[in-house]
Chain A
Amino acid sequence: MKSFFWENLRIALSELWGHKTRSILTGTGIVIGIIAVSLMSTLINGVDGLFEESMKFLGRGNLYVEKWPWFGDEDWWTLRNRPRIELDMAEKIQERSQYAMVVAAERGRMANLSYKELSAENIYIHGVTANYPEVSTVDVEYGRFFTESEDRTGAQVVLLGSEVAKTLFPQGNPVDKMIFAGSKRFRVIGVLAEMGKFMGAFSNDTQVIIPLATFNKIFHGPWGRRSITVKVPEHLVEDAKEELRGVVRVLRGLKPEEKDNFAINQQNAFRQSYQGIKLAIGGTGMIITALSLLVGGIGIANIMFVSVKERTREIGVRKALGATRSQIQGQFLIEAMVITASGGLVGLIISTLISMAISKFLFPATMSFGVAFMAIALSAGVGLFAGLAPARKGAKLDPIEALRYE
């Protein structure tokens, strides 16, 4: 049986070689289908990686008490009219919540910074509590983070995002230099390591971090983001969310019939909406794949019928010499599968090249072994399917009729 396989493979390859143009034309549909499916899977893997990378910024066990929900379809005016988050709730939450491990508070707004004649405009100023590094990824490259007492006393110290540092201090170490935020002087105590972009858009590298108390002292008024981050054990995050909701409702004095006038955000919200996007991409890719494989498969079936017809005499000779039906059928099936699998291989090579280009210029996307295997198996499967009817037809030929065929 093994020897038939090699024999048939050999026949198939020499047939394909003998009809190069025809094989290339028929294989094209498969090539496109395989490019679509493998590129799509690779892209999804790549975007997944990107997404997970971004999610690092939002710890899995973090709950964010905020005015605005990250996702949802609540009425904008209702949300707009919610009271702003009182950041001093943080301490009470810490006291009352059983799940809370760390409770950090933060505010943010845009401001312009300057150092001597250099300036950096529209920089996000982040006022955070001293325990902020415990709820987020803060990687101090030079210098240090601020201390609790600096936060308590409202010390005018600042940590620079890597981009800000580059802009204000093109050469030389910013640590211990004095910079201006508006009219206030701040001492640089650290520089953050480069972190990359969140979801490919918002970059933490263009922010600066100052103590929350300092922020409160300098920036009055209702503007800017306010958020309380409650870190809870990851596996209990759903329970903790319910508890936290209760705690905040009590702190806000909400009556049972009143709706929440705050939002508790979490990474899951991103995950869910990301899943939706992913499904949409995947669905589109699947449709393109299915269509091109279907069209490709019909092309293969057609060409195999032609091939069987052209080679009627050959089939007659083989049958006269003792080929069984299944052997003839196998020969044509393998031939169809060789066409489609070669198409699949070509498609795979092309999409590997494309994904290499994407990796280089956009985001990491590498073809996985699983995707490659699936692509080849899928294309061979199309061949098997498309070749079935023509192969049957060839196998059923009567030997003497076939030998007489002109």
Chain B
Amino acid sequence: MSLIQVNDLYKIYQMGNTEVRALDGVSVTIEQNEYVSIMGPSGSGKSTLMNLLGCLDTPTSGEFFMDGINVATMGDDELAHIRNKKIGFVFQTFNLLPKSTSLRNVELPLIYNGEIKAHERRDMAIKALTRVNLGDRVSHKPNELSGGQRQRVAVARALVNNPAIILADEPTGNLDSKTGEEIMVLFDELHKQGNTIILVTHEEHIAAHASRVVRLLDGKIAVDEATNRGKK
């Protein structure tokens, strides 16, 4: 049984008379502990696909199985549970809570986890922030951080619950190449630990960290192949 199996997925936005086919019949299967990068021009449907895989959005049609279970049949609480425990999501636009400190932002998934005590939560959040080199920015609010630092807070928040699947929508988009590499080293490590990683990127050298690359074009999969790393 595959971790993720998507069959003929459509996401169509009706904008007045014109319809926008953000996803136009996508089928893809991703196994446990795969390392996949998704590429494609702007507007090709990468974020749309990520949102669906992250159980945040619902498709217009098509099927999505996670661990063999049809996501469409899942109830609200079940989905919330999956988003909390199983998936770590790095948003393209970060989506940090503007009034909360980095620490509080990173703690959020742990709060909704419901099983972790306050002091443990704090320790785990600090550890996650340290992993993205922000150990000295725990009490800064998002507007007191640079764009790259915000992105790293978003990455720390995605990691903190140690989710089985990490979905990262351009996690290095705002970072200089050195910091970007550091984040990728982090993802490589997580991958080695057995996590499944799916990331969107525009940069080939970032995509090269993955073992497989899926290229989207106009909402369709144009290419789905192993990278050099994957071929090894």
Contacts and interface: CB of A to CB of B under 8 A. Distances in A.
Interface in B48-106: 51, 54, 56-57, 76-77, 80-81, 83-85, 89, 91, 95-97, 99
B80 A3 contact: no
Given A3-B111, A322-B113, A317 B95 contact: yes
A399 B76 CA distance: 11
A3 B57 contact: no
Contacts of A314: 97
Contact of A320 (B85, B95, B113, B116): B95
Interface residues of B, number: 27
B80 A319 contact: yes
Interface string A314-355: 101111111111110000000000000000000000000000
A322 B112 contact: yes
A3 B85 contact: no
Contacts of B80: 319, 322-325, 327
B95 A316 contact: yes
B14 to A, nearest CB: 15
Contact of B56 (A1, A7, A403): A403
B46 interface: no
Given A4-B114, A18-B99, A321 B81 contact: no
A322 B118 contact: no
Nearest to A322: B84
Interface in B168-221: none
A251 to B, nearest CB: 83
A327 B83 CA distance: 14
A309 interface: no
Interface string B98-133: 010000000011011110111000000000000000
A400 interface: yes
A387 to B, nearest CB: 20
Contacts of A321: 83-84, 89, 108-109, 112, 157
Interface of A: 1, 3-4, 6-7, 14, 18, 313-314, 316-327, 399-400, 403
11 contacts: A3-B116, A317-B95, A319-B83, A321-B83, A321-B108, A321-B109, A323-B80, A327-B112, A399-B56, A399-B57, A400-B51
